[in-house]
């Protein structure tokens, strides 16, 4: 009797699912400067400073923070800097942007922080299908990060993949 062999399981492929690099929605908080504008249009420095000083920042503890202004008000650039003073000691990381922008940038940062030793001389497959759409920026980041170290880099699924890079034998 011939035994059925799962060649995919024995292939030694290291699979990466880029969706795993996104922070969970509960890990993100956004500070909207519009909430501190006089009549929704004007930033008054003294009141803005006082409001930030009195704010309970605990909701940002160990979370990814975004800073935005969701209205068309003219905001001086220093007004984006001031909340960082309060956020930096407690937030995991601070970005400019809404939830989606923070989510994307945090995922890119996580990819660039990957320890390459786990992938050195490995055959790596970056999953191409999943429940969640993955923006091109993540595919670019993972390719840039791993290409110098891997034996081969592929896109897709183990049963049908597209080769991206293969190290030449020297």
Indicate whether 5 pLDDT > 70. no
The stretch 147-162 carries a mean pLDDT of 93
pLDDT at 160: 86
Q: CA nearest 67: which of 35, 42, 44?
A: 35
Q: What is the pLDDT of residues 92-141, one digit of tens each?
A: 999 999 999 999 999 999 999 999 999 999 999 999 887 889 999 999 99
| Predicted pLDDT of residue 168 | 84
Predicted pLDDT of residue 50: 98
Q: What backbone torsions phi and psi does residue 119 show, to the nearest 5 degrees?
A: -120, -5
C-beta of residue 126 within 8 angstroms of C-beta of residue 18: yes
- List the domain boundaries for the chain: 13-22+107-166, 25-105
Q: Rounded to 5 degrees, what angle do the CA atoms 139, 149, 163 make?
A: 50
Instruction: Return the exposure string of 27-54: e unless at least 16 CB atoms fall within 10 Å of the residue's CB, then b.
Output: ebbbbebbebbeeeeebeeeebeeebee
| pLDDT of the residue at 9 | 46
The pLDDT > 70 percentage for the chain reads 92
User: What pLDDT was estimated at residue 101?
Assistant: 98
Using one digit for the tens of pLDDT, what is the confidence trace for 61-84? 999 999 999 999 999 999 999 999
pLDDT interval class at 6 (50, 70, 90): very low
Give the full edge-to-edge strand order of the sheet including 93-96.
28-32, 64-68, 93-96
- The answer on pLDDT for 2 being more than 80 is no
In this prediction, residue 96 carries a pLDDT of 98
Confidence of residue 27 (pLDDT cuts 50, 70, 90): very high
């Amino acid at each position: 009797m011939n035994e059925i062999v799962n060649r995919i399981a024995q292939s030694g492929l290291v699979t990466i699912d880029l969706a795993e690099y996104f922070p969970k929605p509960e890990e993100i908080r956004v500070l909207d400067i519009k909430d501190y504008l006089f009549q929704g249009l004007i930033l008054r420095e003294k009141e803005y400073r006082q409001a930030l000083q009195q704010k309970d920042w605990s909701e940002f503890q160990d979370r990814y923070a975004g800073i935005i202004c969701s209205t068309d008000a003219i905001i001086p650039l220093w007004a984006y800097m001031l909340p960082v003073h309060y956020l930096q000691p407690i937030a995991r990381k601070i970005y400019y942007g809404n939830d989606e922008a923070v989510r994307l940038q945090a995922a890119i940062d996580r990819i660039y922080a990957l320890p390459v030793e786990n992938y050195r001389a490995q055959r790596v497959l970056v999953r191409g299908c999943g429940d969640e759409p993955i923006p091109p920026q993540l595919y670019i980041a993972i390719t840039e990060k791993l290409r110098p170290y891997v034996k081969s880099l592929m896109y897709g699924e183990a049963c049908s993949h597209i080769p991206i890079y293969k190290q030449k034998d020297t």
